[in-house]
Chains A and B, each alone.
Chain A
Amino acid sequence: NAGVTQTPKFQVLKTGQSMTLQCAQDMNHEYMSWYRQDPGMGLRLIHYSVGAGITDQGEVPNGYNVSRSTTEDFPLRLLSAAPSQTSVYFCASNQATNTEAFFGQGTRLTVV
């Protein structure tokens, strides 16, 4: 059972480049979300989706776009990478907002 699959695991970008982080889940969860984790801080919500075709902003959405064309996939796009976006990114899915969140393995992104 794959759960939440997130790719790539590591990425180095130059300032101004764009890229897409992929996230897929096979648990038929309606809720999916993207977080970033920085040292000394808790996970912060970037964007989330409550179902296919529905997305909304979290705490720190600037510089990121998302779409949810299917229940399974929830990609995160960095439009023009900046050093401040150097972080570890986690995708998560859950059946309901107050139930267990399952996380992907994370993407370590460095922007130089």
Chain B
Amino acid sequence: RKEVEQDPGPFNVPEGATVAFNCTYSNSASQSFFWYRQDCRKEPKLLMSVYSSGNEDGRFTAQLNRASQYISLLIRDSKLSDSATYLCVVHREHDYKLSFGAGTTVTVRA
């Protein structure tokens, strides 16, 4: 079983729609959680960290459910510029390694 699993999508949504997707992680010792964004043929960039109580950054909302071992990302009022692949990243305390999901592709259409 992969350490971090994501629905690859693609999620095709119209502008203005809300889209949400999850990521599950297998290691309960995981401590830090992130969403990275990767545009086509570009490097990943941090979108937001995910905190235990959930957090928002503009139109983006991230949630963490430790009991069920998943994190989620919700995008409200989707823009064309939100089209990208979203990578779920998990880090275990005392471990250098970041574990990456394979990514969820979102395409926002006009």
Chain A interfacial positions (CB closer than 8 Å to B): 31, 33, 35, 40-45, 48, 50, 56, 58-59, 90, 97-98, 100-101, 103-106
The 26 listed contacts between A and B (C-beta, < 8 Å) are A31-B96, A35-B100, A40-B102, A41-B102, A42-B2, A42-B4, A42-B100, A42-B101, A42-B103, A43-B87, A43-B98, A44-B100, A56-B96, A90-B43, A90-B44, A97-B95, A97-B96, A98-B31, A98-B91, A98-B93, A100-B34, A101-B44, A101-B46, A105-B43, A106-B42, A106-B43
Docked CA distance A101–B34 (Å): 10
Q: Kindly list chain B residues whose C-beta atoms are within 8 Å of the C-beta of A103.
A: 43-45
**Main SS of chain B's interface residues?**
loop
Docked CA distance A106–B39 (Å): 12
Docked CA distance A50–B96 (Å): 8
Q: Kindly list chain B residues whose C-beta atoms are within 8 Å of the C-beta of A59.
A: 97
Residue in chain B with minimal CB distance to A41: B102
Residues 52-93 of chain B, each 1 if its beta carbon lies under 8 Å from chain A, else 0: 000000000000000000000000000000000001000101
Interface centre among B32, B43, B99, B102 (most CB of A within 10 A): B43
Docked CA distance A40–B97 (Å): 20
Interface contact B91-A97, CB-CB below 8 Å: yes
Asked, given contacts A98-B31, A103-B45, whether A42 binds B87 with beta carbons under 8 Å apart, the answer is: yes
B34 to chain A, nearest CB (A): 8
- The 8 Å CB contact of A42, one of B31, B46, B102, is B102
Interface contact B97-A45, CB-CB below 8 Å: yes
Asked, given contacts A42-B87, A106-B42, A106-B43, whether A101 binds B98 with beta carbons under 8 Å apart, the answer is: yes
Docked CA distance A103–B97 (Å): 15
Residue in chain B with minimal CB distance to A35: B100
Interface contact A58-B97, CB-CB below 8 Å: yes
Q: Kindly list chain B residues whose C-beta atoms are within 8 Å of the C-beta of A35.
A: 100
